[in-house]
Structure 1
C-alpha cells in the first residue's frame, strides 16, 4: 500500500494559481450579485465581493497546495 501523503507536488504551482484565479473570478461575480440583491447597493456589493474573495482566494490556494501532496484518489504517476 502506497503512502497517503507525498512530499512532491502532483501538479505545478502555476496550474494551482491559474485554477485559483479562474475560480475566484467566477466567485467574485456570484458574491457581488448576491450581495447586490441583499443590500441593494452596487458599491457595497462590490466591496463585499472583493473583500470576501481576497480572503477566500488565499484560503483556496493553500487548500489546493495541501491536497496536491495527498495521493488518495489520484492515479499513480507513470
Structure 2
C-alpha cells in the first residue's frame, strides 16, 4: 500500500489554497442548484450558496492546516 501513497513532501500552503478554492467552487454550484430547486428563487439560491460556501471555505482550510500538525497515523520513517 505504501507504493501508492507518500507522506513527504507535505502539501505546500499554495497547493492547499488552490485545492480548497477549486473544491469550494464546485460545491458552490451544487449548493446553488439545490437551494434553487428548494426555494424556486435564484437570488435566494445564490445568497445561500455564497454565504454557506465562503464560511465552509475558511473552516475547511483551517481544518486542513490543523491536521497538517497532527502526527497521528503518519509513519515517522516511511522507508
TM-score (norm 1): 0.78
CA distance in 1, matches of 2:53, 2:59: 9
The correspondence of residues 1-78 of structure 1 with structure 2, limited to 5 A, is 10-74=10-74, 76=76
Gapped regions of structure 1 (runs ≥ 5): 1-8
**What number of residue pairs does the alignment pair up?**
69
Structure 2: give runs of 5+ residues left out of the alignment: 1-8
C-alpha distance in 2, partners of 1:77/1:52?
40
CA contact (8 A) 1:10 1:69 kept: no
Does the C-alpha gap of structure 1 residues 46 and 76 become closer, same or farther in structure 2, counting only changes over 3 Å? same
CA RMSD, 1 decimal: 1.5
Q: How big is the shift at 1:72?
A: 3.6
Distance 1:77 1:10 in 2: 14
